[in-house]
Structure 1
Amino acid sequence: MKNIGIFAITPAQIHFYRNIICELNKKDTNTYLLVRDYGETIQLVKEFEMPHFIFSRPPDSKYGKILNLPKEVLTAYKYLREKNVDLVTGFGIYESFTSALLNVPAITFTDSEYSVNAFTYVIQFYISSLFTDKYITPTSFKQDLGKKQIRVNSFKELAYLHPKYYHPDDSIFPLLGLSKGEPYILIRFNAFDAVHDFGVTGFSLEEKIEMVRSLEKHMRVFISSEGSLPEELCKYQVRIPKNRIHDAIYFASLVITDTQTMATEGAILGTPTIRCNGFVGSADMGNFIELERRYGLLYNFSKYEEISPSSKKIIQNPNSKIECQRKREILLNEKENITDLISQILIHSVKLENTPYAI
């Protein structure tokens, strides 16, 4: 019996590891999930009834998060040492530093090229890379990380949105207060309070209000937000269980967001999706470029003013959703089941077998 420690910091990471954990537990492997009490993460693991250990309750400020890192790593180390883990995995930083203390291998999944992020994130990446044994990245990842890199032909969001795992449930309509099939728009706002968000911006308060007022002239509008909403927009806040957000994305007529993950989720689910934030540009991350240029499933904009023409075009085209669903099928036919791939990599790495995945 092997033991693997898993760090999941955000709701998206909980979704990512949920099916991987199920697969690992079927294959003579114990998994220990470590989570951070931040945002919607705790509520999500409770809704999924996933056993977990809270190793961090971070402060609100970005600098506070950095200063809190040693305490978090020490807490995780003490917990995982008792579990006698053979390997730790996550999305960067925590598994790397904790693995050094435990003297076990660390495997990191990342789809965010460090070169497009803030300087603080670059420093963070380089330091943690000293203790990382393997990096798993999508094939769309533009940077070469050398011998440590394993490229997989997939997106991390397919770990939970692949048809093998995700089945749309139209009972979301009554939860939204809508009749079945009634069109609506879903907007997602980012908090931009993570370390890798230094210097990056999304929608301003004025832009958020203007956008909602403009879009609600066409159909119902719902807002999902990482941070608090201004009083003028509170009535639009979507009030559904956190584990039903993907149904809300799937059945939406349009998704507009300044976040990263939900932009990919909307595209992969075949919903017309517009992404707008400070990351967009010539140095944008490879996964967003591929979703836009290869599959035509995503609109990427760096300026708020660019959104209106595309959103109107989508809303006025009665076939927008059908066209995106067809493009989604092309993507699904070309991409691999990343849950199976990650599970194999983790198991082979623990066993130290003579495979391309062995550490």
Structure 2
Amino acid sequence: MRIGVFINTAGQTHFYKNIVRQLESNGHEVFIVARNQGVTYELLDGLHIPYYPYSSTPDKSARVTSFPGDIVRAYRYLQDKKLDLIAGFGIYSTCVARMLNVPDITFCDGEPMIYPASYAVPFNFFRRFTGALVTPSSFRQALGKKQIRVPSYKELAYLHPNHFSPDRGIYRLLGLPEGSDYALLRFNAFDAMHDVGISGFSSADKIRLVKELEKYVPVFISSYGGVPEEIRDRLLPVPKHRIHDVISFAKLVVTDTGTTTTEAGVLGTPAVRAMTFVKNDAGNWVELEKRYGLLYNFVEPGKAIAKAVELVRQPDLRERWKAKRERLLQDKIDMTSYMVWFIENYPGSATVAGQPVTQPLSATAGPG
């Protein structure tokens, strides 16, 4: 097969990296087109994954006006590739697929009902035209006959034990003795279309959070946006593509970004999250909190800071979270193995909607 893959964000880079490698290992040709949002290009370069840069990084308002040109650039690059299929996270990939008259598959973990109209309106438009809409089974919203629910999360495409083993060499990069406790703070830039009207920690909150946690553990910061000068010297001194090693060994993660929250959860690292839309949250975060007890969600940053301090003071925290993670892995499958099977067998694979654990996956996608 000849497959086009759209990668628009850092999270999508991680999602597709093992899928692309496995497809290529199975003899397929994969052509990646990527948008330079955040650290997307930096991650792709660090992972030595070839790509065609079809879009720059406009701000949220400019992204609307740049959309036609971005679509045309992606179309022109892919039009002579004789593709059999296009995969992506929707809108861009679906539009180009229709222009090329090629089947497409969309993976979606952002539930439109919890986001503002700037995301929900285009989503509800493009999903009518995509061939298949793959979502986690925890999705709270029903999206029609094209929706295929999978007992997994986006993050288990790259953090499932089948694909990820944390490297303890990260302690050397952090300048800490191996096995030391530390906290990771991960802050969002809120520059995506689905972030309009959403906020997390303010500058004052970030400073307070650092000062409170540093009474007990060293603190490192990873941020998509700016960081107050007062705490800038805590910025993480490791390559961007090593972030999951940092998350894996941290005693605690505190964040206002959704993906990092789930990443911490599936790695068995205690996580505290503060975002304004928590009260109308997506199913994956509700499930990780209410069913598995792996994270804590708050609307008010002050409450999140208080919970973070309470947790970091507990000596047996990581041991208890390891047991919770094992329960999670017993219930969830390897998303990379599923997506490779789904792509290779599409459109026949779409006929087993609602039954993602099937015989073709039994050898690779069982419980972790």
* TM-score (structure 1 length as normaliser): 0.96
Partner of 1:172: 170
Partner of 1:24: 23
Where 1:264 maps in the other structure, the secondary structure is helix
CA distance in 1, matches of 2:304, 2:112: 27
CA distance in 2, matches of 1:152, 1:89: 17
Q: CA deviation at 1:354?
A: 7.4
Partner of 1:206: 204
Q: CA deviation at 1:58?
A: 2.5
Contact 2:213 2:312 in 1 (8 A): no
Amino acid at match of 2:53: I
Partner of 1:348: 345
Contact 2:38 2:57 in 1 (8 A): no
Q: CA deviation at 1:86?
A: 1.4
CA distance in 2, matches of 1:245, 1:52: 22
CA distance in 2, matches of 1:297, 1:253: 13
Residues 355 and 156 of structure 1, relative CA distance in 2, 3 Å threshold: closer
Contact 1:258 1:275 in 2 (8 A): yes
CA distance in 2, matches of 1:129, 1:171: 43
Instruction: State whether structure 2 residue 334 is matched by structure 1 residue 332.
Output: no
Q: Which runs of 5+ in 1 are unaligned?
A: none
Aligned counterpart for 1:284 among listed residues 267, 281, 284: 281
CA distance in 2, matches of 1:269, 1:353: 33
Residues 21 and 326 of structure 1, relative CA distance in 2, 3 Å threshold: same
* 1:206-265: CA deviation from partner (whole Å, max 9, x where unpaired): 111111111111111000000122211210100201111101001111000000100000
CA distance in 1, matches of 2:206, 2:270: 19
Residues 256 and 355 of structure 1, relative CA distance in 2, 3 Å threshold: closer
Partner of 1:239: 237
Partner of 1:305: 302
* 1:173-217: CA deviation from partner (whole Å, max 9, x where unpaired): 110111111111100000001100111111111111111111111
CA distance in 1, matches of 2:201, 2:350: 46
Aligned counterpart for 1:318 among listed residues 305, 315, 319: 315
Partner of 2:222: 224
CA distance in 2, matches of 1:134, 1:354: 10
Residues 348 and 331 of structure 1, relative CA distance in 2, 3 Å threshold: same
Q: CA deviation at 1:306?
A: 0.9
Question: RMSD value over aligned CA atoms?
Answer: 1.3
Partner of 1:294: 291
Amino acid at match of 1:325: K
Partner of 1:136: 134
Partner of 1:47: 46
Where 2:216 maps in the other structure, the secondary structure is coil
CA distance in 2, matches of 1:348, 1:247: 33
Contact 1:115 1:122 in 2 (8 A): yes
Aligned counterpart for 1:81 among listed residues 67, 79, 82: 79
Q: Where does structure 1 differ by over 4 angstroms across 4 or more consecutive aligned residues?
A: none
Contact 2:132 2:350 in 1 (8 A): no
CA distance in 2, matches of 1:164, 1:127: 36
Question: In percent, how many aligned pairs have the same letter?
Answer: 43
Where 1:188 maps in the other structure, the secondary structure is strand
Residues 229 and 312 of structure 1, relative CA distance in 2, 3 Å threshold: closer
Q: CA deviation at 1:38?
A: 2.2
CA distance in 1, matches of 2:85, 2:106: 11
CA distance in 1, matches of 2:152, 2:43: 24
* 1:150-177: CA deviation from partner (whole Å, max 9, x where unpaired): 1110011011101111111111011011
Partner of 2:360: none
Q: CA deviation at 1:355?
A: 5.9
Contact 2:205 2:302 in 1 (8 A): no
Where 1:83 maps in the other structure, the secondary structure is coil
Partner of 1:249: 247
Where 1:82 maps in the other structure, the secondary structure is coil
CA distance in 2, matches of 1:168, 1:18: 17
Q: CA deviation at 1:274?
A: 0.4
* TM-score (structure 2 length as normaliser): 0.93
Q: CA deviation at 1:278?
A: 1.3
Higher deviation after alignment, 295-304 or 207-216? 207-216
Where 1:33 maps in the other structure, the secondary structure is strand
Q: Which runs of 5+ in 2 are unaligned?
A: 354-368
* 1:89-128 superposed matches below 5 A: 89-128=87-126
CA distance in 1, matches of 2:317, 2:229: 32
Q: CA deviation at 1:10?
A: 1.2
CA distance in 2, matches of 1:95, 1:223: 33
Where 1:66 maps in the other structure, the secondary structure is helix
Q: CA deviation at 1:357?
A: 5.7
Aligned counterpart for 1:193 among listed residues 191, 194, 201: 191
